[in-house]
Amino acid sequence: MTLKTLMMTTLVTASLAAAAANVKPVASVEGIHSYQLENGLQVVLFADQSKPTATVNMTYLVGSRMENYGETGMAHLLEHLMFKGSKNYPEPTKEFTRRGFRM
């Protein structure tokens, strides 16, 4: 392990420990841990020490199935906001790539 890797691991661990005061463990099964953040966000962690990278998957519980009366169209709006771009970010996939995302 290089010094840079060790320092980054230490910093990430310290910041996670500081934030952990507001995290409520929900469940742990076979190395997969589920947490509920103070703002309601559910986080599921699965550590794979054999890989030198981190993978983030995001699941939005939205869509026409999740919409209530008077909320129709919100899922479609979210799709446009995430992938169609805007005046400031006309090509969002290029912005994702520039920041190191792979889709």
Q: Which of 38, 71, 79, 95 is catalytic?
A: 79
> What's the pLDDT tens digit per position in 11-39?
555 555 555 567 777 888 888 888 888 87
Lowest mean pLDDT segment, chosen from 9-13, 59-63, 97-101: 9-13
Residue 34 · residue 42 · CB < 8 Å: yes
Active site residue 91: no
Residue 45 · residue 33 · CB < 8 Å: yes
Q: Which of 90, 86, 69, 87 is nearest to 77 (CA)?
A: 86
Predicted TM-score (pTM) of the model is: 0.42
Determine the Cα–Cα distance for residues 62 and 11; give it in Å rounded to an integer. Answer: 34
Residue 24 · residue 36 · CB < 8 Å: yes
Q: Where are the alpha helices (DSSP H) in the chain?
A: 3-19, 74-83, 92-98
Residue 28 DSSP SS3: strand
Sorting pLDDT into bands at 50, 70 and 90, what band is 103? low
Q: Which of 54, 60, 59 is nearest to 100 (CA)?
A: 54
Look up residue 31 and give its amino acid.
Answer: G
